[in-house]
A = this chain, B = another copy of it.
Amino acid sequence: MSSSLEGSTLFDLAAYLKHQKSVVEKRLEQVLSTYPQDSRVISAVKYSLMSGGKRIRPILCIAASEAVAVEEDFFEDVLTCASALEMIHTYSLIHDDLPAMDNDGLRRGKPTCHVAFDDATAILAGDALLTMAFETLSSHLVQGGNEPGRWLEIINLISRASGVRGMVEGQMLDIFSEGVSLTPEALENMHRLKTGAIIEASVCSGAILARGRVKHIKSLKHFARHIGLAFQVIDDILNVEGDPKLLGKATGTDSQRNKNTYPSLLGLNESVTFAEKLVGTALQALSDFDKKADPLRAIARYIIDRKK
């Protein structure tokens, strides 16, 4: 889809995303290497965690930290947090793909975890990743200069965004609203819980670990809230008109399942307009920030323009 929000910035987002993705993946591999390599659970965890996602949550965490940073000695901590966020995201994908849930066979162009292994292993791999995230978040007691109290705050923030106050409840609502007509408000609430909460937590945790000022964290939260919803609207649109090859998963599945989506509720054109408006509001929230927030700005635009 085209966007009226194309920036004139010279910032090279493709290079930035590629670099950060490789930094995050290197850290994930490093964490995985500390676990028993002969474990079937770890094989399944590796299979799903290292299958090349966009790493958008950890990259948002890093970009938010850069947007508020005055010193660089926190990067180790931000990367720890970023890797934990990707573990939580991957756990949620593994469980969501299960036959008892969305029953998806393809993810990132590969068989999903329960297809490549089996249901029991996939359930345990998800459980392992969720637990691993909290082990990771509690393992950096001294590094990077953040005090234990700040880590506890991060753990609390992320657990609230992941559980019944966020992602888990969103997935429950998503499953139980199949075939039921939702109001735009109910649809928005579902998405804020299912994907928005953890995107907000990703941005805020990066900013907190980089010791951002309270007013900046507040603006970033506003930013995250709007790009989180925009991300979901575009996801819905791609499920209608995206290219399954580029996406690495089947399209048309939402409508087959009678899922409530923005295109089904607003129509395709209105959905695009809505997403553009959300990204516009998100960019406005960054008006107080200098060019260190350019990666965040570019990511916001990318959300609209992405093809996968």
Give chain A's interface residues, CB within 8 Å of chain B: 35-36, 39-42, 45, 91, 95, 98, 100-101, 118-121, 123-124, 126-128, 130-132, 134-135, 137-139, 141, 147-149, 151-153, 155-156, 159-160, 162-165, 168-169, 171-172, 175-176
Contacts of A134 in B (CB 8 A): 134, 155, 159
Of B131, B141, B148, B172, the contact of A159 (CB 8 Å cutoff):
B131
Contacts of A121 in B (CB 8 A): 172
State the Cβ distance, A39 to closest chain B Cβ, in Å.
Answer: 6
B164 touches A45 (CB 8 A): yes
**Nearest residue, chain B, Cβ from A131:** B163
Q: Oligomeric state, in number of copies?
A: 2
A141 touches B152 (CB 8 A): yes
Contacts of A41 in B (CB 8 A): 164, 168-169, 172
Q: A120-B100, A123-B101, A134-B134 are in contact. Are A128 and B36 (CB under 8 A)?
A: no
A159 touches B171 (CB 8 A): no
**A-B pairs with the 3 shortest C-beta distances?**
A131-B163, A100-B119, A135-B159
Contacts of A101 in B (CB 8 A): 120, 123
Of B40, B128, B138, B162, the contact of A131 (CB 8 Å cutoff):
B162
B160 touches A135 (CB 8 A): yes
